[in-house]
Structure 1
Amino acid sequence: MVMSWAISLIIIVGVRLMVKKPTLIPSAGQAVVENMLGGIRDIMEPIVGKSMIKKTFPLLIALFTFILIQNWSGMLPGVGAFGFYDEHEHLKYWMRPGNADLNMTIALALVSAVFAWTYFVFRYAGLKVLIYDLFGNKADPKEVPKVIYVLLFPIFFMVGMIEVVSILFRPVSLSFRLFGNVFGGENLLANMTSLASWIVPVPFYFLEILIGAVQALVFTLLTAVYIGLICNHGDDEEHAH
């Protein structure tokens, strides 16, 4: 929790100091922030759709930025380095990366894959679209025989039941994927540093920078995909053209 508060403060203060008062000709700090926003927006827009990007972008950019800095926080001096031993002789660190704790990744997964997904789907798609997307017969009755079209109903219903199960497991997959990568990276750095304090750990720090960025992007992309699967049907005709 302490690391999460610190990371949130770093994001707020850092963006404010970099942007300051936005100008038509951006400063170096403003250009960095605008390029990051523009880059993430360009990646997410085809997934969630043009009609949904403005509505979902605050959530997506917040998830990406917060998770990215949380992932990298394990490389800050003092993080995962100091602590105390409990009554079972287990070392408890004073500060650890937030995403190296399963409680944090579960909270992020519940916010993105449950609460936010439910809000966007029911607010901008509706229950009817959701039910059709899960259980509806997607075949065109004009292109398939009537008998086959009728027989497809139970098949699509069973596929919908499988999809419901996958939706329920989304928080599990999201939280454990992020937790496993960050926790594994933290242990890797600790082990390499214990073997040799100089030079040897350096390549692994660069590896953690890459993995931290990839995992933040994967988490955000999956959140966008979950929302776009239901809410992005309005852009189908435009994409076809």
Structure 2
Amino acid sequence: MEHGGGHEIGSHKLAHFAGMTFNMDTLEMTWLSMAIVIILAFLATRRLQLVPTGWQNFLEMLVTALLDQIDSTMGPKGRKLAPLIITLFLFLVVSNEMGLIPGLTSPTNDINTTLGLALMVLVLVHVLGMINNGPVRYFKHFFEPYKVFVIINVIEELAKPITLSFRLFGNILAGEVLLLILGMLVPYIIPTAWLAFSVFVGIVQAFIFTMLSMSYLSNSLGKDH
């Protein structure tokens, strides 16, 4: 059925452009999540105070905690990637919780979103690895300690984006589906309790994705770490 220049198939609105098909629900929720992160950052930094209050205080506590994790996981060189990691975490938290708002969906309940984020991290891992260690030395480690291990190492690298993306995608999608089913079968009390638990799960999954990304990136920052 035609709808706003796209097609309505099930609960997904699709649009076609240049021979490609786009899930407009995911795109719209992704753009909304990005806008929310930008607005939160703007509100927190609009009127900076020496003694922080409100959003500034909350975001400063969050950023400080993430910086501590970056230092312990990635070492001093990890500070260069702090803006990316902090932004990734904030985007994931907002995206994971979007589906808990009536009428909205989480962009992270779409494997295309989570796989895209995972591939971004893994591409950055290899690019930084070549920059910091040199292309020859970096690719040499795939053949260590024995050349036959190259197959195992390649499989491990291919598995990283798959496991990273499917873990987040599966948890968010399952939580939203279960919340919908509970809302139809047992209204009010149980769905409300599960809603509170889903908020916690969304934050935990964002933290896990971010921590694993930090772990992968730490290996590409140089031989000394």
Q: What TM-score range do you get, normalising by the shorter chain?
A: 0.7 to 0.9
Structure 2 portions without partners, runs of 5+: 1-26
CA contact 1:49–1:232 (8 Å) conserved in 2: no
User: Is 1:56 equivalent to 2:81 in the alignment?
Assistant: yes
CA contact 2:129–2:219 (8 Å) conserved in 1: no
Partner of 2:103: 78
Partner of 2:148: 158
Mapped partners of 1:131, 1:118: distance in 2:
9
Partner of 2:223: 233
Structure 1 runs (4+) greater than 6 angstroms displaced:
none
User: Is 1:127 equivalent to 2:131 in the alignment?
Assistant: no
Partner of 1:103: 112
TM-superposition CA deviations, 1:35-61 (whole Å, max 9, x none): 1011011112222221x2222111211
Greater per-residue strand proportion: 2
User: Is 1:18 equivalent to 2:44 in the alignment?
Assistant: yes
TM-score by length of 1: 0.77
Which stretch shows the higher mean deviation, 195-204 or 18-27? 18-27
Partner of 2:12: none
Superposition map of 1:206-217 within 5 A: 206-217=196-207
Shift of 1:232: 4.9
Mapped partners of 2:133, 2:207: distance in 1:
25
Higher Cα Rg, which structure:
1
Residue identity (%): 29
CA contact 1:48–1:232 (8 Å) conserved in 2: no
Mapped partners of 2:223, 2:36: distance in 1:
38
Q: Name the SS for the 1:231 alignment partner.
A: coil
Mapped partners of 1:23, 1:126: distance in 2:
43
Structure 1 portions without partners, runs of 5+: 80-95, 138-155, 236-241
